[in-house]
Every structure is written in C-alpha cells, then in structure tokens.
A and B are shown apart, each in its own frame.
Chain A
Amino acid sequence: MKKIVNDLSWMIGGPQGTGVDSSANLFGRACVAGGLWIFGKREYHSNIIGEHSYFQIRVSGEPVRSHLDPVHLLATFEDSTARIHAHEMAPGGALIYDPTVTHPENLNLPKDVLLVPLDYAEVLRQVSAETGEPFSKLVIMKNTISVAASCALLEFEESNIEKALAGIFTGRKAKLVPINMTVARKAYSFIKKEFIDQFPYRLEPIANVPKRLVMIGNTAVALGKIKAGCRFQTYYPITPASDESVYLEGLSEYGMMVMQCEDEIASVEQAISASIMGVRASTSTSGPGFSLMAEGMGWAGMNEVPVVIVNYQRGGPATGLPTRHEQADLLFALHFAHGEFPRIVIAPADHEEYFYDAFQAFNYADRYQTPVIVLADKNIANNTQSILPFDESKLKIDRGQVATKEDMNRLSADGMFKRFAFSESGISTRTFPGTRGGIYWMTGDEHDELGHIDESSANRVKMQDKRMKKLETASREIPESEQIRLFGDPKADLTLVTWGSPKGPILDALSKLKKEGINANLLQVHIVWPFPTGPVTKILQKAKTVINVEMNYTAQLASLIRRETGIKIQHNILKYNGRPISETEILDGVREVVKKKTERVVLTAGM
C-alpha cells in the first residue's frame, strides 16, 4: 500500500480532567522530536471536570499553521469521543477504541474506517504483572497508551515518545519516564501488523531539523512582554487570557510585579498608574473584562499614558462562548470608551507575531504615549504550534520622549514641568514622578500644558489637536511592512484579506489553491489602527476579486475597509460558531466564491 507520509490530522478527546491535554502534549512533542511540524487545536467547555473536550493535532513535514476538518486518526480511551466525532473521520482513517466501552457498530462512521480495538485495561494488567506496579497506579497512564498506539499505527519510532516524555517530566518528575515508556512499549506490542499494513498514513522522522519551540500564544505574548522590559502586569482571571499572567507570575526571577486585581477596572488602572511611574506596564483580558476597561482606557488616552492591553477575543456578546474563538471586537477596540482619543490597535495573527507584537506594542505605547491594544484571539492563544526559535537579535527598546537634562532646562520652571507641552508631532516629553523639577498634574478633565483643568474653548481645540495628531505621526513613522503584510503572488487576480488568526489557514491553503489553478494572495491587515489606508487601497485596487475572511457575523474588517478606503468588498467568508477556521474550510469557501460568485459564505465546521 502506498502510504501518505507526514500529512496527518490526529485527534484525541474525552471528558475534561481525564488527561486529554496531556495526551495531545505528548503526541505533539513526540512528532516535533521526530523533526515534524505541528499545529494543535484545543477545544474545551467552560467546565472543570466532565464535559467533552478534544485536541486535534495536524502533523506535517513542513510548517503548518492551521488544522484540517477530516480526522485521519481518532484516538479514544472512553466512549463519548467516538460518538461525538465519528462523523468527522476521513474515509480510510482509523479509530483506536477500547472494545470494552465502545461499540463501533453504533457509531456514525464513514465507510472504510479502520477499526483498531485496544483493551486499555489489558495493557495495564500486563505491565502491572511484569513490573509489580499496582494496577491502580498505572491507570493514569492510559493517555500514554493512546499516544503510543497511535505512533505504533503510524510506524513512528517509540524513541520519539521517550524524547517527548523526557521533555515533559523534568526534575523530580523525571522518574516517571521509565514506567511511562514501559507502558508505551506494551501498547506498541498490542498494535498488530495487519492494522499497520491497512492504515494508509505514516509518520517518518526528518533528520537534522533544528530544535523548534512548541508553545501556545499566551506564552508567546508573555515572553514578548518580558523581553520588552515590561515589569508590571495586572489581570483578573478570565479565559482565554489568564494563562499568560499566571505564566508570568511563575517567572519571578525577572522581578515582574504581577497583580491579580479585584476586577478589570482596577487591572487597567493599576497598569496605567504604574506606567506613569516609569515601568512598562500591561494588562491582559478577554471580552467581558475588555468592556470594563473602557473607562480607564479613555483616561489613559486623555493623559497620554503608554499602556498595553492585550485582548484575547472569545465568543461574545456578554459571557458568550467563554472558551471558544471569535474575532468580533475589532470595531469595539477601535471605538471603545467615550469621547475621542488616539489609540494604536495591532492584530497579531500567529505565534511568532504574538511574541514580536507584544514586544513592539510597548515601543508604540512609549513612542506615541497612548494606549496600545493588542487584539489577540483564542485560536492562537490556546493553540499549540511548532515554530522556529525567535530572532531576538534585532529587538530594540524605544522608551520615546523621556526628559533629558536639556529638556528639564527648557520645560521646567519653579519645580514644575510642562508635561503636555504642545509640539509639532503631538508628542510631548514626559518625566517620571520622583524627578526633581518634573512636577506636573494629570486629570481626566481637559487640561493645560501643566496638567491643570482648563475648560477654555481655545485650549480644548489645541489639546485635542495635539493628542489626535499623534495618530498621524504614528501613521507616518510606522513602516508599511508593519502595517500590512502581503503573502503570495503580488500580481494574483484574487486577493484574500484578513486580520488575526485566519491568516494561518489561508497561508496553508494558498499553495493548494494554486495547484487547482486559483492564483491567490493574502493581504493581512496587521496594524488596524491607525488604519493603513494607502497600502490597503493600493493592493485591493489591483485585485480582480477580493474575498474578506474573518471570524464574525458582520464582516467588521470589510466594513472598516469600506469606511477608510471606499472599496466595497463583494465577497465574505465568515464564521461565528466559535470554532476556528480550518484550511479545509478556506479551500471550500474560496472554491465556492470562485465558482458561484457567492457573496457571503458562512462556515460551520467544528464540534
């Protein structure tokens, strides 16, 4: 049988709290240890124990940035996962199941699915008999059995599992590696050759691949913040954001002040005031918390305080889909808080950008002395990807205009400092409290150059002009390569435009579309505010067909593009069922637009 090598969609599922994540972590790391690339999608309920969760890992010989809809190998250790996901299985795929609890004849399986029974208890009984370890102590290792059985079926060497285990169980836990390996080897022995021969998928290790990072988006943001010199992080627990703050709290050697606040109102305000004192400060949240931050954001805008807010979007409105994915906060981020003030909104779209943008956000905040919103989302935040190590060599910290001695001479009088001095760029020089001669005031009221309340109409106009001018300055200074990114053939007739995480499945789909004769490129709007009007107009005007792709109902980016450029995008591929877009869906959606000229394609895949 001709095998399909290194192109696999694997899934494991089970009730929450039964080790689904651990299994996926082990399988993913084993693949990467073997030189392969992974993208892992994690789906879970707002629940601690019992509700169904699953983890889907796409494995490839090349970098992958998205998942596929069909499941080629479904590994289960209890009965619910097979029932829930049977219909998602690809013909020719395989189901690993425990015959003592799962009865395939009752499942809604497509034809030609290879049934691989695996008696988990028997594996453990044999290990128990051979090692003398009590059976009850081994039960927890059923996850290892699932992974080992999967690898056996894929003819993937068990040494990769051992490498992965060694990476997971470190320090005092290292003693768990041998017993897990004993269980794994036993599971290998249970997968008969006839099954392996019938299964068309295979994983082959690739040699000499450099070590890769395997991480979730939350971690990438956290590391970007540390690198940027952020030493003040506030948060209120919320999914899918708090993993970032908790991770930072654990890295106490950097001296990061991580404060768990009473609510998101306090979170954003503590970060703002910390920033006033001179430390780079940030907060991370998701929709409901982001809504509460509006008031503080307006104050930071009014007082020209650099602060970085990471909003990990999830399904809204209200509590919405607390553990699911959506991108419906774009227009909100552009407008939230009453009144008008400048803000910079960045939309990172993959794990690398989560790191670099978290870093760069502080430079923008300091340089333009205004709030910077990083619009992240659950898809990247909670999903795992293998990526090349970050290139930290070019990173530079820019603290913006902080008063020098010369500035003090110019702007300080009688111990006080014109913090909000009018300037060409709109940016003023700041002092950090504690500086002699640097005294100034801040107020949520309109104010004069010293920061005292001034409601006069003339001052209002001058101050509002000064603040808003910073946006023009930012637009002019930020390189085009940061504002937008174009992937694929610049001369392509078809342009897909998106922001945030749909970038992954679109990039993965471009080469496949090309093979089908559809030459498309991707325009990623990376800085969504100030809007890159010129670059976006230039590219969209060239395209014969434009398809806007995003994860919301109202096509928010398309409406923003129309507002800012006058260009009406005729086709939208949208999704709002809380599950991220797959490569499969991009392919299907683009084909439909190309063939049928459909104006609105709504995607619905994912359980």
Chain B
Amino acid sequence: METTKNVNPKNLSDTPLTAKDFKTDVHIDWCPGCGDFGITASVQMALAELKLAPWRVVICSGVGCSSKTPHFIKTYGVHTLHGRVLPFALGAKMANPEMEVVAVGGDGDGYGIGAGHFMHAGRRNIDMAYIVFNNEVYGLTKGQASPTLGRGQKPKSLPLPNVNEGVNPLALALSAGYTFIARSYSFSGAHLKETIKRAILHKGMALVDVLQPCPTYNDLHDKEWFSQVVEVNGQQKPRCFDIEKENYDGRVKDSANLDEITAKKKQAFEMAHYRGEQVPIGVFYQVELPTYYERIAENAPILNQYTPATLPTADEKGRPTSDLSQPLSHLLV
C-alpha cells in the first residue's frame, strides 16, 4: 500500500514553486555545520515539490535551536513553548483540517518535556507530520544530555558520562500508535526530503526522527561519524543504510489484517533496536487507519461538511445562528 493521500487541492499553489519561495530573510543563528540547516532545507524542498501554497501551510515548533525553524520558512509559523509543539499543532489541524500542518522540534522538546504529548498524539492519529531534530543534546542550554543520549556516553559538553538510558523514539512511537514511523539523517539529502514528503502525504500521524550532528556539543556523533564507512561482516558499508533498499518493507498492505499489522510492528520494533555499527534509516512502519478528525466527524457528521473554523455561527449582522431550542426543551419545566 503506497500512500493514498494526495495534497488537498485547496492547498496547491497556482504558481510554480522552488525551495527559494519558502525562504525568509530572517538571519539564521545556528552554529556552522549544524544539522538543522540540512533539515530545514529538506523541508523547504519537500514543500516546494509537493506544490503546497505557502499560505496553506502552518509550521509549528516547540522551543530550542531547531524550534526556530518556522521563522526561516515562509509559511504561517507558530513557535510555541518548550515541549508543546504537538498540542499546538494538533489543535490547529483539528480546527482547520484542510490546512497542511507540520510540527518540528528537538529531541529534548519532543521526547523529554513533551513526552506525554508525544504519546497521546500517536493514540489520536492526527493527519500531520512531526519532524524531530535529534542530536542527543540540549544545544541551546549548552549541551546537557537529551533523552536520546545513550547510557555511559559522554559528549564533550558533559562532565561525566550519561547515567540515564536513552529512549528509543521509534519503538515509543510504535507503542503509542503512530501510523508512519521513519528515521533519516540531516545530511542525507534526497533521502530526508523524500521521507518528509512521504510523511506529509501519509494520512495519519507521521514521525520522522532525523539524526543530526550538534557540531558544538556532541563530538560523539558528528558529521564525520555519520559519514564514515564501517565494516560489517568483512564488507565496507556506509554508516547510514536505507533499509528499504535492503528488502525491508514496513508498509502494512491491508489495515484490516491484524496479523499483518502485528507482524509489521514486530519487524519495526526489531529494526528500531538494530545493534551494530550501521544506523538504519527509512520508513520502519506505515499503516493507514482512520484519522482523529474522521472519528470525530463520524459522531458529528456536520464536520464532514464544514471544519470547526468554517462552521457558520452568525449571520451577516453578527446575530448568533445557533438554535438552542432543542437542548433547552429538555431543561424547561
């Protein structure tokens, strides 16, 4: 099953677009060599290739280096609070599901302070993409360990090795119910851009965990480390390998087939815990299930006709048009 969703025709640009159309003239204050540059550029290219009109896109972020991203992209941008990108993003999407909503933020933002929201966003299967900039440190506060840094690891910013276990975001997303779970790397170019496009086109809640270097604080997993060629069973291999080029298919073909779902989940869980010199990237799991909006609209069919943001509630003179006589009749004695 390939992604079935197309871009909402209302969101298509009527003029040709390039990544440049999604750039602002705001000064970018990230450190030279930061992975954020690669991810932001990939988002801009993905939006342009999907032909999305800039004014039909909302990009939400949390707080941190990577959460400054919306200011550098020319769409509606909502730079929210630390850890709160998902509540804001999904509130926007539920109010106006016709818009394209993309959430971005760091690993501390999403898997640390925002971990509760991360889980519940999965349960709801909101139709949006969430791109996590994962560099294993809290860069903006000088490199403290983030939730994804492994136990015993000591990037140069830490005085002592990390005493916490690192969380596995992909396995977490799988348990929470995300219906599209992918990993990419900030400087993998085409792979990242294509993965972001697939995430946006996926009908449901999509996570793209993007590994990235923090050149200032994380000297363990820097650009050089990600680019290394490593030896696997006597063969020279790239550090990051695309699982989908190696006979891995995470896509559920028949979402009514619970056995298939279970098998694909097991496979994804295993791949998420892949141990070795190489780092697997690609789409680990994908399934198409009813979105939250569809579930709500089933109970309130008028929401198929209107979105909450477009429901008429007043006439041209501002007189409210909501007729309360039905509920009031039950209260009149």
A: which residues have CB within 8 A of B?
29, 32-33, 163-164, 167, 170, 211-215, 219, 223, 226-229, 231-232, 234, 251-257, 259, 261-263, 265-266, 269-281, 295-296, 299, 359, 386, 389-390, 392, 395-399, 415-416, 432-445, 451-453
Contact = CB atoms under 8 A, between A and B. Distances in A.
Contacts of B119: 262
Interface residue SS majority, chain B: mixed
Contacts of B153: none
Interface residues of B, number: 63
A433 B92 contact: yes
- The 6 tightest CB contacts between A and B, nearest first, are A229-B313, A270-B91, A273-B91, A274-B95, A443-B79, A277-B95
Nearest to B119: A262
A295 B62 CA distance: 13
Residue with the greatest number of chain B CB neighbours at <10 A, chosen from A228, A276, A433: A433
Interface of B: 24, 26, 53-56, 58, 60, 63, 68, 70-71, 74-81, 84, 86-92, 94-96, 98-99, 116-117, 119-120, 296, 299-300, 302-303, 306-311, 313-314, 317-320, 322, 324, 326-328, 330-333
B81 A444 contact: yes
A444 B91 contact: no
B77 A441 contact: yes
Nearest to A258: B296
B201 to A, nearest CB: 19
B96 to A, nearest CB: 4
A234 B314 CA distance: 22
B318 to A, nearest CB: 5
Contacts of B300: 252-257
B272 to A, nearest CB: 23
B68 A223 contact: no
Contact of A434 (B79, B96, B318, B326): B96
A410 B25 CA distance: 21
Contacts of A213: 328, 331-333
10 contacts: A164-B333, A231-B311, A232-B94, A257-B94, A269-B84, A273-B89, A276-B78, A279-B307, A389-B332, A434-B96
Contacts of B313: 228-229, 231, 280, 397
B308 A276 contact: no
Contact of B303 (A164, A255, A259, A295): A255
Contacts of B76: 433-434, 438-441
A389 B54 CA distance: 48
B227 to A, nearest CB: 33
Contacts of B87: 261, 265-266, 269-270, 273
A229 B324 CA distance: 12
Contacts of B80: 269, 273, 299, 442, 444
A277 to B, nearest CB: 4
A20 to B, nearest CB: 20
A103 B188 CA distance: 84
Contacts of A269: 80-81, 84, 87-88, 91
A255 B318 contact: no
Contacts of A214: 331-333
Contacts of B78: 273, 276, 441-443
Contact of A415 (B55, B77, B96, B299): B55
B167 to A, nearest CB: 18
Given A211-B332, A396-B317, A441-B76, 6 more contacts: A223-B327, A223-B328, A272-B88, A274-B308, A359-B320, A438-B55
B68 A211 contact: no
Contact of B308 (A257, A439, A453): A257
Contact of B322 (A226, A265, A270, A390): A226
Contact of A442 (B74, B77, B327): B77
A263 B299 CA distance: 23
Contacts of B77: 440-443, 451
Contacts of A435: 55
Most chain B beta-carbon neighbours within 10 Å: one of A212, A416, A434, A453:
A434
Given A262-B117, A395-B319, A212 B95 contact: no
A415 B74 contact: yes
Given A257-B296, A273-B78, A452-B26, A397 B94 contact: no
A221 to B, nearest CB: 13
Contacts of A389: 328, 332
Contacts of A390: 324, 328
